[in-house]
Amino acid sequence: MATTSAPALTATPFAITQSCCSDASCVAVCPVNCIHPTPDEPDFGTTDMLYIDPRSCIGCGACADACPVDAIFPTDVLLAGPQAAYVDLNREHFAADAVGLEADDEPDATDPRWSEPVFPPALSAEAAGLRVAVVGTGPAASYTASALLTTSARVTMVDRLPTPGGLIRWGVAPDHQSTKAIARRFATVHRNPRLQMLLGVEVGRDLSHQDLLAQHDAVVYAVGARADRTLGVEGEELPGSLSARTFVGWYNAHPEIAADTIDLGPATQGRAVIIGNGNVALDAARILLSDADDLVGTEIAEHALDDLRSGSVREVVVVARRGPDDAAYSLSELRPLLARDDLDVVVDGDSDLAAAIAAAPRGSKAAALQGVPVSPVGWSAPVSWRRRLVLRFDSAVDRIEGTSHVEAVVLDGTHVPTGLVLRSVGYRSEPVPGLPFDESTHTVPHASGRVVDPATGEPVPATYVVGWIKRGPRGGIGSNRADAAETVGSLVDDANAGRLTTGRGSDRALRSRLRSSRRRTAQL
């Protein structure tokens, strides 16, 4: 009997796009190890995103299924749409590996560069029944809770805000819907029957560190970085000068930021100036320069949508202390702005800067600006009706001028008229009641997540940290996954070694303690 063979399938490589969270979920499922950097490689956490090597990708799509933020697509789909640039970004990341290869050469399939397998920590039988409090509900806290739940521990998550989510809920731009999609994964964690949440509860006000320890075997702090770094210049405290964090919270309807905090009306003189050029700065610029109708249907606050629709801002100036090749933003955030046909992007600079950009090597941040007009901007001219983004490099802020409100920013002696200044120069953590704190790094001293008493060098019993309070405000959402794995590993090791009690306290006793604390506070 004659047989016919099935037609050969042509696999299309996949590529990773802008919303990559770098938590490496995709790395774990790839059958050919074509996604890099992996968590055990030295540059993991230092790149803007993860990348797929098109030479070895077999197009199976396992990575796209595992991606928590819908950031991975077939290259033929990307090439037909507005995200085509990400196909080149993925390919260019591996350009150094491709030196000497001809176009038809295949990668060396005998060297998949696999590392030794790593297994999640497990509690011993003696440590069963572990109860852990996690302070925070953001990405670091949620990755920590997820890792703890795989060990059979019981978890209590505590947050001072009435809605969980942390950075995902309050810090991600509303038009980054794919990035916000990771909240669905965390929501699954939050619904686990071995997890309870105490929302609207602030440690240090409603409960103390000792209260938590009395009802849990360990406490993990994932409280992030709630404060802002300052410029330290004259006029910084004028109305109209705010932190970018405040602006982000405003358009995300943060419960602690009033709807009238931001004024986008005529007082802005049609222009906003953002000091700093990281991804938060570009988020703020993009929202200010968006058509309000394009944001309808996102999670943007209604008051922000109304103000953007009726506002006067048509130009945003993003100011950086260093040159274009040292820009703090990622190329994945810049490229969509450069591709917009309703937005003019210009670089405020001279012929020397234009020449430096033109000569920049392929793949560099400066090279991404090739084709963008570079010339001095005349700040005395009225702001045009057409939206414009101005990138200004190698600039220092002399002062912010105004009488009762911001009227101008002085940059290297140049007056730039504006009524809205957003400071995007970084976040910093604040001390945690009951824990040691390093005022120079604005972090809690620790060793692999174990809080350490700096006076003795000894671990503080049953107390741990994760996220920005542990490592400082660096790294994106996905960076917290590996960070949480380290802290949970230390905690489980301590439990298995008998350094922690097990099964201490109860949910009922904790809630009773909370009610007593609130009654006492109300009587004061």
Q: What is the pLDDT of residues 27-69, one digit of tens each?
A: 989 999 999 998 888 888 788 889 999 988 999 999 999 998 8
Q: What is the pLDDT of residues 417-436, one digit of tens each?
A: 999 999 999 899 999 999 99
Question: What DSSP element (H or E) covers 219?
Answer: strand 218-221
Domains with residue ranges and CATH for the chain: 14-93 (3.30.70.20), 125-226+429-523 (3.40.50.720), 233-423 (3.50.50.60)
Nearest to 85 by CA among 358, 345, 338, 287: 338
Q: Both tokens of residue 176?
A: 């980054």
Buried b (16+ CB within 10 A) or exposed e, 112-146: eeeeeeeeebebeeebeebbbbbbbbbbbbbbbbb
The rounded distance, in Å, linking the Cα atoms of 354 and 361 is 14
Nearest to 307 by CA among 354, 259, 274, 345: 259
Q: Both tokens of residue 50?
A: 């993860």
Q: What is the pLDDT along the chain (524 residues), one digit of tens a residue?
A: 444 443 333 468 999 987 788 888 999 899 999 999 988 888 887 888 899 999 889 999 999 999 988 899 999 999 988 888 889 889 888 875 544 444 444 444 445 555 666 677 889 988 888 999 999 999 999 999 999 999 989 999 999 999 999 988 888 888 888 888 888 889 999 999 999 999 999 999 999 999 999 999 999 999 998 889 999 999 999 999 999 999 999 999 999 999 999 999 999 999 999 999 999 999 999 999 999 999 999 999 999 999 999 999 999 999 999 999 999 998 888 988 998 999 999 999 999 999 999 999 987 899 999 999 999 999 998 999 999 999 999 999 999 999 999 999 999 999 999 999 999 998 999 999 999 999 999 999 999 999 999 999 999 999 999 999 999 988 888 889 989 999 999 999 999 999 998 878 888 889 888 888 877 766 65
Nearest to 136 by CA among 205, 74, 70, 198: 198
Total residue length of the chain: 524
pTM over 0.85: yes
Q: What is the pLDDT of residues 341-354, one digit of tens each?
A: 999 999 999 999 99
Which stretches of 365-415 are DSSP H helices? none
Instruction: Measure the CA angle with vertex 468, ends 463 and 469; round to 5°.
Output: 35
3-state SS of 62-109 is HHHHHCCCCCEEEHHHHHCCCCCHHHHHHHHHCCCCCCCCCCCCCCCC
Q: Please report, as a single letter, which amino acid is at residue 27.
A: V
CA atoms within a 13 Å half-sphere pointing along the CA-CB vector of 34 = 24
Nearest to 415 by CA among 407, 424, 403, 425: 407
How far from 414 is each of 129, 267, 392, 408, CA to CA, in Å?
64, 20, 12, 10
The rounded distance, in Å, linking the Cα atoms of 68 and 20 is 9
